[in-house]
Amino acid sequence: MKLDLGPELEAFRRELGDWIEDNRIDGLEDVDERAVYLGTFEQSGPVAAAYRQWSERLGQARLICPQWPEEVGGRGLSGAHMAVLNEEFSRRRVPRVSRGMGESLVGPSIIVHGSEAQKAHFLPRIISGEDRYCQGFSEPDHGSDLAGVETSGVVDGEEIVLTGQKVWTSGAHLANMIFVLCRSDPNVPKHQGLSYVLAPIRDNGVDIRPLRQPTGRSGFSQEYLDGCRAPLLNVIGGLGNGWRVAMTTLGNERGGGATTQHLRYERELWDLVDEARKRGGTDDPLVRQDLAWAYSHVEIMRFQGLRLLSALAAKREPGPEASVNKLFWSEYQQRFGEIAMGVLGADAMLGVGPEYGLGRWQSTFVSSRAVTIFSGTSEIQRNIIGERALGLPREPG
């Protein structure tokens, strides 16, 4: 099915496609943007050099954080334009060069809630890649119950001083900045006493301890903040306004990329089909059934994406789709990991390479266990859908 997006978006697609072809740099076809973001991308050598050159070209054309408004360095692209852009980059196999959480979570929250001074200071540093953020929301006793966070933020002159413990902080080992939800006023109802602070994470009273995951990698860490300081300029939305800012962040986290995320799953699925073919698995009716299940679910994601895209093109705000989307893709990914193990059969139990590490599909399976937990667990998404979309009675407090 092809959606008619209208002449403006089709013209944008053509113009962008021409730009990519005029500026493309060879050798980047297999770069996985997630590897760059997760720090597993090789930082030296010809591919890394080509990636840097490509990033510069995108920067000059304002194609890094292009969804941000023009006055803060973006191009002001709408959700529909961004869907077209993501599709073109993926189809033409060039990396999009994302600024990770800075681009998708912190920037949008500053744009909505930040002062002019905050926008002028923080946003250009995200676009240039100078600031790389990690998310300091969860604590050992406060994950789903985010509004209960206990890390304190005490004002000391022109600074705020953070003390407490954060955990499950993805990419902390690669970041130089952390966005922290802290309790700046313990004497008011819990949602009103929070502040959203951008704090330097290096040499600033933060002890970062990596946590080892079942994949063998340490993609996230726990941090002990002991007198971590940040200027009051770094309190986005002002003291006591942290919950509102955090809700903007979470809305972006759960709904982001819904229009084009099927592209990634589509590629992964066809790679698994190739793996099954190599192993003769496509003759097995159970494997065929599983692959057909995955195919139909990727197609559903594609149609959901198109539905959202047409809503965006018609300038309608998406509603509770963010939670439906998070629930659907995460539960799909978990089942897909199990299907991949079925395709490998007994080989799934064997270590790979001289160090008996995990192969691609084993990593897909193991890492997929986390996806129904982060960005709000499946139970929390179901609560949101039940209460806010379907209007069911609220769960007892």
Ligand X SMILES: Cc1cc2nc3c(=O)[nH]c(=O)nc-3n(C[C@H](O)[C@H](O)[C@H](O)COP(=O)(O)OP(=O)(O)OC[C@H]3O[C@@H](n4cnc5c(N)ncnc54)[C@H](O)[C@@H]3O)c2cc1C
| Residues in contact with ligand X by the rule CB under 6 A | 134-138, 143-144, 168-170, 220, 370, 373-374, 377, 379-380, 383
**Minimal distance in Å, beta carbon 380 to ligand X?**
6
In the bound state with ligand X, the residue whose beta carbon lies nearer, of 241 and 375, is 375
Q: Which residues of 161-174 are buried (b: 16+ CB within 10 A; e: fewer)?
A: bbbbbbbbbbbbbe
Largest Cα–Cα distance of the chain, in whole Å? 71
**Minimal distance in Å, beta carbon 4 to ligand X?**
39
In the bound state with ligand X, the residue whose beta carbon lies nearer, of 20 and 167, is 167
Structure tokens at 92: 């033409």
**Minimal distance in Å, beta carbon 124 to ligand X?**
24
Closest CA to 320 of 245, 249, 386, 373: 386
Q: Which residue is nearest to ligand X (CB)?
A: 143
Cβ 135 vs Cβ 101: under 8 Å: yes
**Minimal distance in Å, beta carbon 364 to ligand X?**
14
Structure tokens at 172: 């902390």
Catalytic residue among 253, 266, 355, 379: 253
DSSP sequence for 130-144 = S--EEEE--BTTBSS
In the bound state with ligand X, the residue whose beta carbon lies nearer, of 82 and 105, is 105
In the bound state with ligand X, the residue whose beta carbon lies nearer, of 241 and 383, is 383
Rounded Cα distance, 388 and 254, in Å: 15
Cα torsion for 245, 106, 302, 26, to the nearest 10°? 170
Is 70 considered catalytic here? no
Helix (H) or strand (E) holding 89: helix 79-91
Which residues are annotated as catalytic? Answer: 253
